[in-house]
Amino acid sequence: MDTDILKRNNVRLFGQGQQMLVFGHGFGCDQYVWSDIAPAFEEKYRVVLFDYVGAGKSDKSAYTTERYGTLHGYKQDLFDLCDALNLENIVFVGHSVSSMIGMLASIERPGLIDKMIMIAPSPYYLNEPDYHGGFEKSDIDELLDMMEINYKEWAKYLAPVVMQNEDRPNLATDFEEILCSNDPVIARQFAEVTFTSDVRSELSKVSVPTLILQTRFDAIAPPEVGRYVHKNIKGSELRVMNAAGHNPHISDSEETVRMIKEYLEN
């Protein structure tokens, strides 16, 4: 067991059972976002939580712009921690960009991932004539500029857009705090990597059973994107949730847990 890697990525393990369940957080987040999800699985699974380098309580001194200038740097984090724990045939639950990180890992290392759960995935966020990703390039440019000019104002603007659920304003307030806890420089690069990466061509290479959880309204990864991912991953299952927003694991944890359990148990 490589304790340096486990410390670097702030890896936590708990639960019983033989099957390993690894949760990967999305952009701007850390393992804290699984607080209402992971405990529901600890009786039947060995649960692994971690922070990508640069996020949460990871060792930020290990962050380099070269390694984390593409999704492959984050994929390597996943490889590293799985190697450190001698993991194989895991269930990987990835939120947002982590869905794509897990996808890339499953393609490169057959046998590492047994099943994938993608929550609000998107392989490409930009609109094209024959593809609706949800954003124009000018939208992304403005977003990145705002992060550089006034990070806290950016977080205040983005949080309610991501969370939706206007009747529960505390969700946006709490998520704003999560965003503000990030290093602005690292977060800005991760945002650029997230919103400009195009891994649509990789979807057809996925060979592991995959569940796609799509909320009924998501300003970051619209329903059209969920359908696109489902269409292009052979044999995948698409479930549309009653939840709204990009973070159903935070806003609607009970529904998220129920849908994941139904898929795994069936």
Query: Which domains does the chain possess?
Result: 3-123+199-265 (3.40.50.1820)
Residues serving a catalytic function are 96, 218, 246
> Which pTM value belongs to this model?
0.97
Give me the pLDDT at residue 27, please. Answer: 97
pLDDT of 246 above 70: yes
Q: Return the higher-pLDDT residue of 233 and 2.
A: 233
Give me the pLDDT at residue 3, please. Answer: 83
Alpha-carbon torsion (201, 202, 206, 210), positive or negative: negative
* Residue 237 backbone phi and psi in degrees, to 5: -120, 130
User: What are the pLDDT digits (tens) for 139-187?
Assistant: 999 999 999 999 999 999 999 999 999 999 999 999 999 999 999 999 9
**Residue 150 and residue 142: Cα distance in Å, rounded?**
12
User: What are the pLDDT digits (tens) for 190-203?
Assistant: 999 999 999 999 99
**For range 34-46, the mean pLDDT:** 97
pLDDT of 1 above 90: no
Show Cβ contacts of residue 216 under 8 Å, excluding neighbours closer than 6 positions: 223, 240, 241, 242, 243, 244
**For range 56-83, the mean pLDDT:** 98
Residue 220 parent element (H or E): none
Contact between residue 49 and residue 11 where contact means Cβ atoms under 8 Å apart? yes
User: What are the pLDDT digits (tens) for 8-38?
Assistant: 999 999 999 889 999 999 999 999 999 999 9
* Residue 120 backbone phi and psi in degrees, to 5: 50, 55
pLDDT of 211 above 70: yes
Count Cβ atoms below 10 Å from residue 1 Cβ, excluding itself: 9
Pairing mode, strands 46-49 and 12-15: antiparallel
Give me the pLDDT at residue 254, please. Answer: 98
Show Cβ contacts of residue 260 under 8 Å, excluding neighbours closer than 6 positions: 37, 41, 93, 117, 211, 213
The end-to-end CA distance of the chain, in Å, is 33
Give me the pLDDT at residue 2, please. Answer: 76
CA angle 65, 67, 126 (to 5 degrees): 75
Total length of the chain: 266
**Residue 90 and residue 254: Cα distance in Å, rounded?**
23
Q: Calculate what percentage of the chain has a pLDDT beyond 90.
A: 98
Give me the pLDDT at residue 65, please. Answer: 97
